Amino acid sequence: MIASGDATLFAIVRLSLAVSLAAVALSAVIGMPLGAALALLRFPGRAAVVICLNALMGLPPVVVGLAVYLLLSRSGPLGSLGLLFTPSAMVIAQTLLIVPIIAALTRQTIEDLWVEYRDEMAAMAVGPVGRIATLLWDARISLLTALLAGFGRAAAEVGAVMIVGGNIDGFTRTMTTAVALETSKGNLPLALGLGLILLGIVLAINAAAWAMRAWSERLGV
Amino acid sequence: MRAPATDLPLVLDRVSLQAGATVILDQISLAIVQGPPTLIVGPNGSGKTSLLRLCLGLVQPTTGRISWGGRTDAAPLRRALVFQRPVMLRRSVAANVDYALSHAGIARGGRPERIDDLLERVGLSALAARPARRLSGGEQQRLALARALARDPEILLLDEPTASLDPAATRAVEDIVLMAAQSGIKVVMSSHDLGQVRRLAGDVIFLVHGRLRERSRAIDFLETPATPEAAAFVRGELVL
């Protein structure tokens, strides 16, 4: 089925990747500055924020789905936008799911590097903007790994996209929701095909993360 | 290229530094002027590193006043510090020097030539493309020196730069330091190595438990130490 290039199957894969990649891009824009700020700023209640952020990494997708559903449903506060059961709703839900992951990993990375670089940058009279730029650049490999972790989580989750997307054929059906549906219908070949592709994607992401680590260690960066 | 303002003399006026209830430096008054290297000596925990950090402007004294060429603003315009364990940026050797040059205000166009020149001075030209964190301890220390010299400093502060190096690596670092001193840079360096004092020092600041116990020409410190602690240090005994 994979080899024959089934059109339905590839439409599903395309939508899944598009939604998850959009969510990762959005989460990077929100999560990385948030994490960097949390790493460098000192304010009352900071410890509580860090603990909450770390805890949110394990947010159950169905809970995020439910929250976004309530927000976007016809009678909800953002119901007038008519986003429920669209790919946009799925991007929003996955973004909420992975912003904590990317922000928490960014905070940890930047904070560790800051402790190491602080004195040296002060001795070289590096200004505040230069400091942030230096930390982000020198942490680039770890930050890319954080993005990959976020993408892996987004691509593999089923609960949130199922609730806010509705698993509508040809419109909001993703790999994970299709596997759930086809399995319950007894259409095992399609479910298995999608499952294999999903597995391949997750495997490829982890291989990429591993290769990047190995490469950066060899370069000593 | 040099700013008209000068950082010399570096004057400490009754400077004390405390961390909580612990007194790290106690009422230090001294002036550092142009001349041969000044070595800060004393046992571990005597306050050598803290004194260097104060001299750079990295930390503020709890009480007392520091001035550089009469100015009291702490921006390290023409001062550079090499830490005991320098941190290598996750970049190549050349990029580390480039970074230091850029933050010393050198325009991009002028940097490649300066990088070559600085790496030549510290003997790292052949390793320019190597990741800095892959260098040996001695090479990292020399790269840190190149970064410090990139700031075109008037005062070069060094915190036990040879503490964990073998004799050959120590020699390489000392040669660079002497070359810097001969080119007119005021070197202020901490050490607990008596041999290093003999080889490099023009004058000596002797610290024990955060107190300035002796300030004299190196030759006087080595031959006629004024305090019992200094006498014990010069005899090679353990000063606790």
Query: Domain for residue B228, yes or no?
Result: yes
By Cβ distance, the residue of A123, A124, A220 closest to B133 is A220
| Distance (Å, whole) CA A163 – CA B221 | 81
Query: Domain for residue B145, yes or no?
Result: no
One-letter amino acid identity for B113? Answer: E
By Cβ distance, the residue of B83, B100, B104 closest to A119 is B83
By Cβ distance, the residue of B80, B81, B134 closest to A220 is B134
CB-based contact A130 B77, cutoff 8 Å: no
Query: Domain for residue A98, yes or no?
Result: yes
**Domain total for chain B?**
1
CB-based contact B81 A123, cutoff 8 Å: yes
Taking only the tens place, the pLDDT of each residue in B115-139 is: 999 999 999 999 999 999 999 999 9
Taking only the tens place, the pLDDT of each residue in A51-93 is: 999 999 999 999 999 999 999 998 889 988 989 999 999 999 9
Query: Domain for residue A189, yes or no?
Result: yes
Query: Domain for residue B226, yes or no?
Result: yes
Residue the block writes with tokens 């240090």: B233
| Distance (Å, whole) CA B58 – CA B147 | 17
Q: Which domain holds residue A158?
A: 7-215
Which of A5-19, A114-128, A157-171 is predicted least confidently?
A5-19
Of A101, A99, A74, nearest to A85 by C-alpha is: A74
**Domain total for chain A?**
1
* pLDDT over 60 at A216, yes or no: yes
Query: Domain for residue A221, yes or no?
Result: no
Taking only the tens place, the pLDDT of each residue in B5-43 is: 788 899 999 999 999 989 999 999 999 999 999 999 998
Query: Domain for residue A15, yes or no?
Result: yes
Q: Among B87, B96, B135, which would you mutate to test the A interface (most chain A Cβ atoms within 10 Å of its Cβ)?
A: B87
Residue the block writes with tokens 């999903």: A198
Query: Domain for residue A111, yes or no?
Result: yes
Average pLDDT estimate for B165-189: 95
CB-based contact B99 A221, cutoff 8 Å: no
Taking only the tens place, the pLDDT of each residue in B62-114 is: 999 999 988 887 677 789 999 999 999 999 999 999 999 999 999 999 999 99
Query: Domain for residue A190, yes or no?
Result: yes
* pLDDT over 60 at A1, yes or no: no
**Interface predicted TM-score (ipTM):** 0.86
Taking only the tens place, the pLDDT of each residue in A83-102 is: 999 999 999 999 999 999 99
Query: Domain for residue A2, yes or no?
Result: no
Helix, strand or coil for residue B106?
A: coil
The DSSP call for residue B186 is E
Q: What is the CB neighbour count within 10 angstroms for residue B117? A: 14
Residue of A nearest to B53 (CA): A123
B80 CB neighbours in chain A (<8 A) are 123
B76 CB neighbours in chain A (<8 A) are 123, 125
Give the CATH number, domain containing residue A32: 1.10.3720.10
Chain B residues interacting with chain A (CB cutoff of 8 angstroms)? 56, 58, 75-77, 80-81, 83, 86-87, 89-91, 99-100, 103-104, 131-134, 147, 151
Q: Which domain holds residue B76?
A: 10-89+155-234
Residue of B nearest to A120 (CA): B87
Give the CATH number, domain containing residue B15: 3.40.50.300
